[in-house]
Every structure is written in C-alpha cells, then in structure tokens.
A and B are shown apart, each in its own frame.
Chain A
Amino acid sequence: MPQDKDQAVNRRRFLKGAATGAAAMVVNVPSADAQNTDSAANHGAAAPTASQIARDSGNIRPPPITRAVQRPGSDLMVQALKDLDIEYIASNPGSSFEALQESIVNYGQPPNERPEFITALHEETSVDMANGYGKAEGRPMCSLLHGTIGIQHASMAIYQAYYSGTPLLLIAGRDDGFIQAHTANDMAAMVRSYTKWDSQPSTLLGSLEALQEAYRQAITPPTGPTLVVLDMELQKAEAGDLEIPAYRPPTIPGVDATTARDIASKLLAANNPRIAVGQLRTPTGVAQAVELAELVGATTSTAATRGPMSFPERHPLTGPGAATDYDFTLGLETGPADIGLIGPRVAALAGQRDTMQVGFGGMRAEVPTSGPFGPRDDGIAARVEIDAEASLPSIIEAVRRLVTRAQVRSIDDRTARHAAANQQAYVAALRQAVEDKKIGWHASPVSTARIYAELWPLIMNEDWCLASPSNFSGGHHRELWEHNKPYSYLGGQGAAGMGYGAGACGGAALAAKQRGRMVINVQTDGDLNYTPGVLWSAVHHRLPMLTIMHNNRAWHQEMMFLEYMAGVRGRGTDRGHIGTTLRDPFIDYKKMAEGYGMAGEGPISDPSLLAAALERGIASVKRGEPYMIDVLTQPR
C-alpha cells in the first residue's frame, strides 16, 4: 500500500491554516460598526460617516467573501475520474465523502453530469451495479463506500466481483475526525484478500495518482476490483495550482513476435484449424477474435452462452464445422487446444493479497473449482501464460503478413463449407431444444422454460442483455436464444452468493441506458429479497430493465438439500420446507415493486397470460420505465 509520508497532510495543521486564513479575511475588512465606535470615542457627535450614510440609505453591501478553499481537492478527484471516462458512480450517501460527493454533483460549469451520481440504497447494491456494468462493458464503473461500515456492507459484492474478475474501481471515504467507529487505520485491510490492489494515499497528488493506478490495475490482467481510500482532509484540501498527472494506459503484454508468427503459421498451414474461445476481457478482444477466425477460416467454440466477452454464438464459423478433424487448435483463455494462451487470474494473487491468511477456499491453488477460477486449461497441449486478448493483434498481423493468395482461396472455400454445416447443426440443435422445452408448456404455475421461450420472439430483434444469472431458472436461454454480443449474457454470481442479480442487472442497465439496449432480469425471488432497493434505483434513474420474477416461493436448491439430508437420516422428509420456503405469507412482488415506484403486474400463474404481460413490460421499458412481472413458476 503506497504511502506518501513526506507530503502527508496533517489534519490539525490544515484546519488551523484554514481558520487563520478566514480570520485574516475578517481583519482586512473592518465593519461599519467598528468604524463608528472609533469615531464616536474620539470626536463626540461627529457627522455620519460614509458607511453610515450608505447603511441608512440602504446601499450597504456585505464585505466581499472569499472562499477558504478555492479549488477543492475533490474537484480534482472528479476531474481525474472524468479523464478516465468513468460513466457512473453508484453510492448511498456518507459523511466520509461529503466533499467528494459535493464535487460530483457541483464541479464544473455547467455542473458535472459524468460521472453521474447513481443513488443506491445499499453499498452491496452499488458494487453489484459496478459488477454488472463492468461485465457488460469490460471496463470499470465506480462505487463510493462510506468508511468502515460502507466497506463492510459492500464486502459481499466485492467478493463476487473478485471471483468474476470484473474490473471495477472502488473509492472509500475516510474521516478520522468524526465518528470513530466509521474509520480505521488501514481501511482496505478488511477486503484486501479479495481486491486486486488498494491504496490509502496521504497527499492530494497521491490521491490523484492512486485513482489512476487503481483504474490501470483494474483493467490489467488479472482484472478485478481495486480500492482507493480517500481521506476527508484531502477531499477538502486547497489544491492550489496542482495539476492532474497525465494518465498512462497500461501496457498489457501479449505473445512475442516469434510466438505470434509460429501460431499464425500453424493456423495457416492447417487444413482444418479451430479456435477455442473462452472469456476475453473487452469487446475489442471479441472483435479481434472474430477477425482472426475469419482470416484463417477456423471454426470456433464459444463461451457466450455461459458468460460475457466471448465469440458470437451465431457467427457462421461458430460450431463444429463441416468436419471435426481439427489439425491445429488455438485456445484463447480456454481449451482444449494445441496451443492455449491463458492469462493470469486473480486467484494467483492470493499469496500476495491474503495477508491475513484467511484462505478463502475458491482461491486455494490446490483445490479444483468450477467457474472463473476453474481449470480453463483442460486439454491444452502447450500452455502459454499470457493474456490472449493482448496477443491477438500481433497474431493477426502475422497472419496478414504470411497468408498467400492460394491460402485465401482455400480459406474462403472452407469458410463457406463450415458456415453451411454450422447453420445445419444449429437448426437441428434448436429444434431438439424446442421439443424439449415445450414439455409442460401449459403447466400452471408457469414452467421456467416457457418464460425464456416466450421472451425470445419478443426480444430477438432488439439489442438486449440478459444480466441475471440463469443457473437457478433452468438456463433455457442457452439453447433458445442467440448470444451474439459481448454482453448478451453476463454469467453467474461469481462466488455463487445470493443478492447479486438485481444489482448486477441495474448496473448492466446503466450501461444499456446510453446505448439503446434493454436488460432482461429473470429474477429469482430469494435473491431479490437481499437487496430489493435496487428497484427504486432503477425507477429513479429510468433504467431500461425488465424484471420477470422466477417466483417459486422458496430457496429450492436448499430445500432439495434438506430433503436429501432428512431422507438419509430416515426422518422428517415432510419438514424440508422449514427454513427453505417463502410461504405464510407469500410475498407480493408486484406490491413490492409498487412500493419502490416500479410499474408491474402479477402474480401470473396462467401461462397463457404471460406473452401479453411480457409485451407490456417491454413497451414500458422502451418508454424508459422499468417494469416487473411477477410470475409464479415451477420450482426449477
């Protein structure tokens, strides 16, 4: 944690200096009463002074006021965030960043609107929002946390973002002179084990540099959440003529020229090359992966149905292709492959960041897990420890340099054959999926498959983002929808923790708002009850978010766990509902939405009513009014 001790701000000295300045201002502007007193003592009933006349005639003016701080440090902090093109800062208010918040809403002329202050009702929500935004855009948004209590409220969402490797920039206010329970010597220590980088600078210049470094660290592989603690004194300090340092983007290493040439040669020499595409970092990386596949006529696999930033699912080259006798496979953050480019993961930082040796299970190198920390390199013959996205430009350049005219003709022929075969395979798989999903079509409560099936024809020609995890609602979109954008599906919770979905959807909707996109939120009921306040934020900020409740009135996975355990022990299988169900009373989600000002309808248990409700919801979202449809569903 960098500390700028030489230039440390001393709070007492700062406040004393400010008070002295204010006193000097008063001394230099004597009051009219003071002048009168002098005059009366020395000269008796003298003629009225000019100031008396001015006062009596109503022409008196207050003395000119000079602000003690002309250029607040927090103004520079906001400018630094503007320079980084931070679009949003989500937070609920807190005294430890009152100066920074004032700058966010008032800095500049006209007053600042970007980054826009997004009002959240809980720090967990504000960080979940940043998580959803970061997943959708591949770059950070900001969350502002209030002291020790805000960091602790946010900790669960930070934990999830860390497991997802989502780049986001956290700022915590620190005020050592106010409520002592809200401050600490080392604020970031509470979440150090699951943040990538943190700093608690002690100078204003250091604060500006820390914000830039935090951004740089967040987007540099391994991407993840970073945290800057900003002291109140620095937020309120006079910046004087301090300049904001120029931001230097990170240099992310890719494969060297020799390796790039080797990979390019192998792709071009292969009769049936393939590219396995996992999760890249940004939309730029996705576009480059597409460019490379098209250049060499390679079929691809994709992770787009499981998370963001992967190859477009319906690209003509996505699929098994005309033949599966692949003679060279390049892996981009996944396998199987002959050569796999696998970038670093935040789990590798555990030794450096987990200074308290908490030992979070998902970060132990020796424990195999699924998800972002899972074995991405399964079946990779030659693994290159390098970020795949950063390597793509040099591989593309090498291909362009090496490819011959004869190869171009062969690649064109191959691409056409693959495209036809992939289309055929997709249609066959879709037909099978529809045959499968139609079972229970008329069931009441509504089947989860029908929710996703009814949605698809209504959104297929829209720009959409499914931001809610689908693992508890059957994941039916994977087989029924086309995931062609880097943000089509934002994947799971990260650390499989509840309370994430609604907030992440809110953040994705922030990204969607300026881009003509809509966010679909198939919202599990148990999850929403952790942080329902995001519904208000969605309404307040007019977020394009359609929420469809997957209301099965239970935490059903846990109910199944409990049933199983009771059965094993030979008792009470009729008591598995205790502590696992949301009945007596049932929760009325339409009323919940109404309470937060959100339009909606339901509960719907008749599936024949669903399509019309979805149409109304989409129309509402297009008007800028988020909408909720409470659907009573089958359990899974």
Chain B
Amino acid sequence: MPSFPITVSTLGLLAAIGMAPLAAQDADNGRQVFYDHGCYACHGFSGETGARDLVGTNSPLVADVETFITFLRLRADVAPLLPSTRMPNYPETALSDADARDLFSYIQTFRLDAPDIADVPTLQAILESAERPYQP
C-alpha cells in the first residue's frame, strides 16, 4: 500500500520528466527479480494475495512501465520511525532500470483468478451456511 496519495496526473508528470526510452523487456528475468527483491512477500507469487495492487485493481501505478519505475524510485524519503510493511523504495542503486523494466514485464503476465462462485462448491456451501438457523 502506498503511504501517500499519488494521482494519475502526478504520475504522468513524473514520468514525463524522469524516464528514458524503454529497452526490450525480459519477463523471465523479471520473474527472478520479483523473487530476489521480495516482491512476492507482499503481493503473493501471482500478484493476487496480500497487497493486491498488481492485478485486477486497475491500479494506475502499474498502468505503464514509466509510471511503475517512477513509483519504485519515488519513495526514497519515506522513512517512518516505526517498522513498516508498506511498499519499500527501490532506488537505482538497488534495482537497475533494466531489471525494473523486466519486472514490469513480468507483472503484466499476471491474470486475475476469481472463479464464479457457482462453479466452486466450497464457496457455494459457505454462502448457504448463512441460511442455517442460529444454534447457541
């Protein structure tokens, strides 16, 4: 979760002033980056669990690679005194632009998996459980 509000217009401006042309992106390398830099710790191995900003939420932060990389770099000064599980800063000294682009490319492979409840008996059973009479 971001610790401060970022709007789409702000990101567009930042992207316009900060980013170099994109090189070819390697999703396979991005997968390794996703693992090595601990992205999965918050976002899950498929981007669907924990902090679910990577897939199915239409988050502007992953709308395009320039915005994404800007967001990674933007958080350097966010240093609260208390331990934080918020989105870390990923400076260029720790994560190169090339790796960040590969990471973005890998994130784009994520697909939302949310089956219809009607197709999953377990989920149906949960919903039906609410109709049972209360028993002390």
The residues of A with any CB-CB pair to B shorter than 8 Å are 290, 312, 314-316, 423, 426-427, 430-431, 434-435, 438-445, 447-449, 453-454, 456-457, 460, 480, 482, 484, 554, 556-557, 559-561, 563-564, 566-568, 570-574, 576-577, 611, 634-636
Contacts and interface: CB of A to CB of B under 8 A. Distances in A.
Contact of B50 (A438, A484, A636): A636
B130 A430 contact: yes
Contact of B113 (A315, A441, A454, A611): A441
Given A564-B85, A571-B93, A443 B129 contact: no
B126 A430 contact: yes
B83 to A, nearest CB: 4
Contacts of B131: 427
A521 B2 CA distance: 33
Nearest to B82: A561
Given A439-B114, A634-B50, 20 more contacts: A426-B130, A427-B130, A434-B117, A434-B126, A434-B127, A439-B49, A440-B49, A441-B113, A441-B115, A443-B113, A447-B44, A448-B49, A449-B49, A560-B42, A561-B83, A563-B38, A566-B94, A567-B90, A567-B91, A635-B40
Most B C-beta atoms less than 10 A away, residue of A290, A427, A634: A634
Contact of B88 (A449, A456, A484, A563): A563
Contacts, number: 154
A448 B134 CA distance: 27
Contacts of B120: 438, 441
Interface stretch (B10-18, B58-66, B73-81): B73-81
A316 B90 contact: no
Contacts of A561: 83-85
A443 B126 contact: no
Interface in B118-136: 120, 122-123, 125-127, 129-132, 134-136
A559 B45 CA distance: 15
Contact of A568 (B76, B126, B127): B76
Contacts of A440: 44, 46, 48-49, 113-114
Given A557-B85, A561-B84, A567-B91, A439 B48 contact: yes
A577 B83 CA distance: 16
Category for how many chain B residues contact A: 35 or more
Nearest to A313: B134
Contacts of A577: 38
B115 A570 contact: no
Most B C-beta atoms less than 10 A away, residue of A312, A570, A571: A570
Contact of A484 (B84, B85, B127, B134): B134
Contacts of B113: 439-443
Contacts of B130: 423, 426-427, 430
Interface string B22-61: 0000000000000011101110111011101000100000
10 closest cross-chain pairs (CB), A and B: A567-B88, A440-B48, A567-B89, A457-B125, A570-B91, A560-B85, A636-B50, A634-B49, A568-B79, A574-B36
Contacts of A431: 127
Contacts of A574: 36-38, 94-95
9 contacts: A439-B52, A439-B114, A443-B48, A447-B48, A448-B49, A456-B129, A560-B85, A564-B84, A567-B90
Most B C-beta atoms less than 10 A away, residue of A430, A564, A570, A576: A564
Nearest to A431: B127
B112 interface: yes
Contacts of B49: 439-440, 443, 447-449, 634-636
